[in-house]
Structure 1
């Protein structure tokens, strides 16, 4: 199994380079090559995930390495679905910049198994569902973030009157705005339910809910930012550039929550 992971990283990087070349030169052949390489990456990721699950005799979601890997797998899965379902050429590129970053970060995170003293506590179906829902929400927020970044770039290009084929390949602003909103509407309930399940698990296993844990506080902050986003969109009927900036800010806070808040959390020290 050791050879699968480095090959996956290499093929993923080549695929991303291919999409970037297509972004610069509008090269359809390179785009197709990048897509098939990304498909191979997905297959290798899936094989790696299944083999690891069999070897460890559990769902591999409990360590930082496994969380990042599952995140990247979801992004690649989402990217392939995007490629088949939507005609927005650059969306796969922008989405996979995040996905590849997750894979790259996973190289520097602990790859060991959960310590024996924690294994019984962590081996809970409710905990697995909690983690799965949280990472699913992160993947959907990633898709929304990619749409919002593309919206902002295209908005600036239009403002500066930068015309050309590249501008057309970003897709309509209205489409990017709708995609980002739909993704947030999918992600937000997953995050909310994931947090609730985490509270239930903590109460049942630890007899208390760690409301003042740094990871919990920052997760609630992320939930609040995107709640404001949904409120502005649904109630205030806000659209466009400023909403994209709000969504981007929300995702940046989400990344801080994912990578930094756990460093100061005793409760989430293994994830």
Structure 2
């Protein structure tokens, strides 16, 4: 019973950590202080839960928990979270904090969902199954964000065409202005990209736990990383190159078409995505 409670505590910590990474990503791209504050407080909750877990392990083993790989991994994650909190408060370096927490989240997920001496065989099986559910859920949520972003980009292109041809009418009045459509597509991609990244991290961990390897040449795996690259390029040209408008909207539409190919075509060609 206690073993199951502790496992659920680590699962909850991992999910809260994922939310923190998502808000840190928003803060990193947009310098959004509100998102940064939410990320900081979520990470503080992660630190508190991790500290409680470490004290539990110390009470169970009567020693400082660093003498095996699993314990050392958890302590390393705790150190990264602690440093992230300090950096957030002292230096405000969003770039370093975000990527530090991506590493920390990966290590936390590995510790939570991989087999351990602290887990029975039955609990390990349950955790592996739940890892798969979380991986798929996060992937589908990112697809949902990308789908809405695609819809806004399509509306942008439609509105752009109406304005270009000077076709004033009810359609023009019912659709939002171009700047708002462009901004909404961008915001949804900001949400979708980190969720896809975290989903891929969890998927890699699940593959190694379930199969002891990851088929990097698998069609669905390659397609997923291509998707992440394409949406990463979208954010690059939108933020670094400061490009907006028709070109960015077309890139977003093209990226979504690749997403559909990846989901329907490459998913059916995958050698181990049997659950799709």
TM-score normalised to the size of structure 1?
0.54
Aligned with 1:194 (options 199, 213, 232): 199
Structure 2 stretches of 5 or more lacking a match? 1-124
Cα separation, 2, equivalents of 1:240 and 1:122: 45
1:246 has 2:248 as partner: no
Matched, 1:212 2:212: no
Tell me the matched-pair count. Answer: 152
Aligned to 1:224: 229
Name the counterpart of 2:178.
Answer: 173
Distance 1:191 1:242 in 2: 23
- Once residues 207 and 150 of structure 1 are traced to their aligned partners in structure 2, the CA distance between those partners, rounded to angstroms, is 45
State the Cα distance separating 1:270 from its structure 2 match.
2.9
Runs of 4+, deviation exceeding 3 Å: 120-123
* 1:222 CA displacement: 0.7
What whole-Å deviation, never above 9, does each CA across 1:64-118 have from its counterpart, x for those lacking one? Answer: xxxxxxxxxxxxxxxxxxxxxxxxxxxxxxxxxxxxxxxxxxxxxxxxxxxxxxx
Residue 209 of structure 1, CA deviation = 1.3
Q: Would the aligned equivalents of 2:138 and 2:199 in 1 still touch at CA under 8 Å? A: yes
User: Does structure 2 retain, via aligned residues, the 8 Å contact 1:121–1:205?
Assistant: no
Q: CA deviation at 1:122?
A: 10
For residues 152 and 172 of structure 2, the distance between their equivalents in structure 1, rounded to whole angstroms, comes to: 14
Query: How much has 1:256 moved relative to structure 2?
Result: 0.4
Structure of higher CA gyration radius: 2
Task: Say whether the 8 Å CA contact 1:177–1:240 is kept in structure 2.
Answer: yes
Alignment of 1:261 with 2:255, yes or no, is: no
Partners in 2 of 1:231 and 1:216 — Cα distance?
23
Q: 1: CA distance between counterparts of 2:223 and 2:168?
A: 41
C-alpha distance in 1 between matches for 2:236 and 2:244: 12
Structure 1, unaligned runs of 5 or more: 1-119
Please, what TM-score do these two structures have when normalized by structure 2?
Answer: 0.53
Backbone CA RMSD of aligned residues: 1.4
User: 2:115: which partner in 1?
Assistant: none
Q: 2: distance between equivalents of 1:204 and 1:121?
A: 12
In the aligned structure 2, how far is the partner of 1:174 from the partner of 1:227?
21
